[in-house]
Amino acid sequence: MLGIGPCLSAWAEQRPILIQDITRETRWPEWTARITGLPLRSVLSAPLTTEGRRIGAIKVYSSAPNAFDDHSVFLIERLATPAAVMLGNARDREATERMSSQLVEALSNRDLISRAQGVLMERMKLTARETLTVMLSASKGGDKPLHEIAREIVNGMTNQ
């Protein structure tokens, strides 16, 4: 990863970037040095942005110089808008799914800990808060996650 180049500029500056001819391009010297030798003469890159969020950039290459003009810029921007919306939606959906699976896990552990609290309250005649203190010190002392301690307490009860 170079960290510089026309695509990143398109993304950072939020505007389309057009390179008519790589051999005469001076704005990204490190990038042009790297791609020398590749069958690549002109580049068109447009930012992918939806609702103010910068998703990335889309790019088209050509092996011929001066392959793109103002109409190409118009076309790529027409394409970039729906592409950014679709990518943004896919990203949101993924984030939501990840979030809800974490929440399901957190809820089931919370439930497990509450059940273990109930067991300890009955067995040791403690308050709910005191049982959590007992489980916390067991977790710290035994280097086991709190929900593992709770699971052992709940399982120990059901096995008896």
Closer residue to another protein (CB): 110 or 123: 110
Beta carbon of residue 51, minimum distance to another protein (angstroms, whole number): 21
Tokens, residue 127: 């308050």
d(CA 46, CA 34): 21
Closer residue to another protein (CB): 45 or 131: 131
Q: Is the dihedral of CA 84, 86, 92, 94 positive or negative?
A: negative
Where does this chain bind another protein (CB under 8 A)? 102-103, 105-107, 109-110, 113-114, 117, 129, 132-133, 136, 139-140, 143, 145-147
Q: Which class for 92: exposed (0-12), middle (13-18), buried (19 or more C-beta within 10 A)?
A: exposed
Beta carbon of residue 111, minimum distance to another protein (angstroms, whole number): 9
Beta carbon of residue 160, minimum distance to another protein (angstroms, whole number): 23
Which residue type, as a one-letter code, is found at position 68? F
